[in-house]
Each structure stands twice: as structure tokens, then as C-alpha cells.
Amino acid sequence: MTITAAADGSALGNPGPNGWAWYIDDDRWAAGGSPHGTNNQGELQAVLELLRATAGTDEKLVIECDSRYVIDSVTKWMPGWKRRGWRKSDGGPVLNRDLLEGIDEAIRGRDVSFTWVKGHAGHPLNEAADERANAAAKAYQQKQEPRRGPGFASAVDGGAALAGAMAVTSSSPRAAVAPAPATPATQSLWAEASDLLDGLGDAEIAQPVTLKVSLTGDEHARLRDRAQAQDISLEQALRRLI
């Protein structure tokens, strides 16, 4: 069987609040974004998230994109960039290298092809992905949590598994910490880190405690978006929330 999906991105202001989305059907789609980014970053993120979401299937994946930049980057230019140490032919650094490296890793060993479609031309999958990516960008513009969608039910969420296995060192003197309740999907993560850390400096410093935090796929997506917006690692973002 073949899975056909659309991947699209949106940016309000370009750069500005941006969104990404991939769409297979009404039961299998996802969206997200960040407070600041470009349209190209949203397009690439959509492809990367689609590849990650469908990593648990060995079916052929056809990705519809209305961005020739994305398709050419992955299918034409990336091999040369890699040979030159992620440098363009003029010696300049490749833009969006982190996303392209993620796609390069996620696509390895899989049967994936790209199809260009004209945007805003009535292609059903593309229109659905565009609508969701734009809605996510608008949500970030309004500092609201975007609709993230049901995801891909049979996917192996490698990102969530990685976050769940991540060991976090805490300065709390307690021997063990009970897990916090899951964050509701409608709750925003826009609190300042300094607000969340108030009072922790008053505690007596003891030996570090290692914690393992299990996150749902939706929780991991929100944490990843926060980390990307602040240009920090997942672990650093999680530390700031403790």
C-alpha cells in the first residue's frame, strides 16, 4: 500500500509566527509551529514531522508539497551540500541545516517520493494541510495553543520516546518526586521560566536526583515547539519548567 500525504507550512510576516501541518485524512493529521520562523522552516518542519510520525510503517510514502525549495533541497541539492560539509556551492552555509539533517536521517532506508502540487489550486490534501498550518501560525500569533490533530495512530513516536527516556538532574533535596499531572491540551505554555523557578533557590542544596519523565506525544510536541522557539535543547526546556 501507499500512503499519500500533504505537507505544508505558513508564516505570518515571514519571518513571524509560523505553522506546519501534514495531512493524510481527517483521522490522520498533525500541526504545530513556533512563535517566530519562516515559511520555508514551516514547510521543512512539516515534512520532518510527517516522516517521524510514519516511522513505524514500511509502506511507501508519497509527500505532496507546493514548495519546490523543499523538494529540490531534499532530492537534488542535499547530496552536494553534505559532501561540502553542509556548504552551498558558493561556500556559504546551508540555511535550515538542522531541519534538513533531520529529514536526511528520517528518510534514510525508506521508500519516500515527493510530488509537486500547485498551492491554492484545489488539491484536497494540500488545501487541508495549508488550512491547518495557517491556523497554527495564527494561534501562535495570538499566543494560544494550536490544534495539533490526532497524529498517525500506528506511528512509533520516536521523539516522545526520546523525551520520555530523558534523564533530568534536579537540585531538589527530596529523594523522589511524584510525577506531575499531564498538561491539558488547552493549557498554554507561555509562562515565563523565572515565574516557575520562584522559591527554588531557598531550598537546601543536596545531592542531585535523577528523574525520568514520560510524556505523551502531544506534551512532547509542545515541549519541542517551546525549545525551538527559545533555541535550546529539549532537556534545557524541561529544566526551565521544573
Distances (CA, A) of 148 to 21, 220, 223, 235: 9, 12, 13, 22
Please report the pLDDT score of residue 207 as a whole number: 55
3-state secondary structure of 16: strand
pLDDT of residue 221: 72
Q: Which tens digit of pLDDT belongs to each residue from 2-18?
A: 999 999 999 999 999 99
Fold of 2-141: Nucleotidyltransferase; domain 5 (3.30.420)
Give the separation between CA 230 and CA 232, rounded to whole angstroms: 6
Model confidence over 28-42: pLDDT tens digits? Answer: 999 999 999 999 999
Annotated domain spans of the chain: 2-141, 158-241
Provide the annotated active-site residues.
8-9, 43, 66, 120, 130
pTM: 0.66
In the chain, which residues have pLDDT < 50? 154-206
pLDDT digits (tens, 9 = 90+) for 162-172: 333 333 333 33
